[in-house]
Amino acid sequence: MKLRIGELARRTGLTVRTLRHYDQIGLLTPSGRTEAEHRLYSETDLRTLQQIQSLKAIGLPLGQIRAVLQDPGHDPQRVIAQHIRVLEEGLARQRALLERLRRLDLAGASWSDLTEVIGMSEKVERMLDTARRVGEQPRFDDEQMKYLEGRRAEVGEARIQEVEAEWPRLMAEVLREMAAGTPASDPRVLDLARRWRGLVAEFTGGRADIGGTLNESYRANMTPEMQAMWSYIGEALGHLQ
């Protein structure tokens, strides 16, 4: 059986333009031509097109589909597994962006305000990203690890999520006071320092040894902007003692 391009388009629901594009990029080349050079598609071409449609339906880009089809030993399970990882990474980025947008306070904001708020949000996200990486590195001993596991169970996952959501808001407020030149001894900054101390205590349970290990890890890996904020909030914490 040989199908002309119009017949193949009607059978598959694709447009003639799409099929011509697939031919031009080497994704689906017709196996035959008429004497007038009209494209002719075989049953094998039709099965290949069905594969293309299936892979496209799950989100694979055309370039990757072409690479898959050109590899005679391609493993469908491996292709799907790789694509799942790509989708998961994309979803993680989208969720992170969604959370950033939800945290923005844009009530009555002008474009200038919007630019400033988003810039502040990006700075906080960079700091949080560094903090997350550093947070995975502290070398707690076995006893400390056991304590922290118990502490996590005691605090509960719901409260842990609340604390994780509070950190970006608190950091943004601290950065705003820094940018405004507010002294670390100002009551507003002291209130921020109390909140900071409270969030840290929820993790450490007030244990100075655990807090010290965590601080050492952060100090060794801080970016300059994190160092500036740490110094500022540290000065405010000093006023509370």
Whole-prediction pTM: 0.51
Task: Enter the tokens of residue 134.
Answer: 């550093």
Contact 177, 227 (CB under 8 A): no
Calculate ∠ Cα 190-215-154, nearest 5°. Answer: 80
Report the alpha-carbon distance of residue 71 to residue 90 in Å, rounded. Answer: 26
How many angstroms separate the Cα of 211 from the Cα of each of 17, 56, 88, 148, 180?
64, 50, 33, 11, 29
pLDDT of residue 15: 92
pLDDT along the chain (241 residues), means of 10: 89 91 90 89 92 86 83 78 77 70 66 71 74 62 84 82 81 87 94 93 88 79 82 92 74
Residue extents of the structural domains in the chain = 3-72, 73-103, 110-240
pLDDT of residue 133: 65
- The CATH fold of domain 3-72: Multidrug-efflux Transporter Regulator; Chain: A; Domain 2 (1.10.1660)
Report the alpha-carbon distance of residue 96 to residue 20 in Å, rounded. Answer: 39
- Which of 204, 98, 113 has its CA nearest to residue 151? 204
pLDDT of residue 187: 94
Give the position of tokens 């923005």.
Answer: 104
pLDDT of residue 202: 87
- Give Cα 116 to chain centroid, integer Å: 22
Report the alpha-carbon distance of residue 188 to residue 183 in Å, rounded. Answer: 9
Question: Under DSSP, is residue 41 helix (H, G, I), strand (E, B) or coil?
Answer: strand
Task: Enter the tokens of residue 100.
Answer: 């950033």
How many angstroms separate the Cα of 231 from the Cα of each of 180, 193, 202?
16, 12, 21
Report the alpha-carbon distance of residue 193 to residue 190 in Å, rounded. Answer: 5
pLDDT of residue 16: 92
pLDDT of residue 107: 64
Report the alpha-carbon distance of residue 177 to residue 182 in Å, rounded. Answer: 5
Positive or negative: CA dihedral 204, 206, 210, 211? positive
Question: Under DSSP, is residue 4 helix (H, G, I), strand (E, B) or coil?
Answer: strand
Q: Which string of DSSP letters, residue by residue, matches 223-237?
A: -HHHHHHHHHHHHHH
Strands (E), 94-223: none
pLDDT of residue 66: 86
pLDDT of residue 136: 53
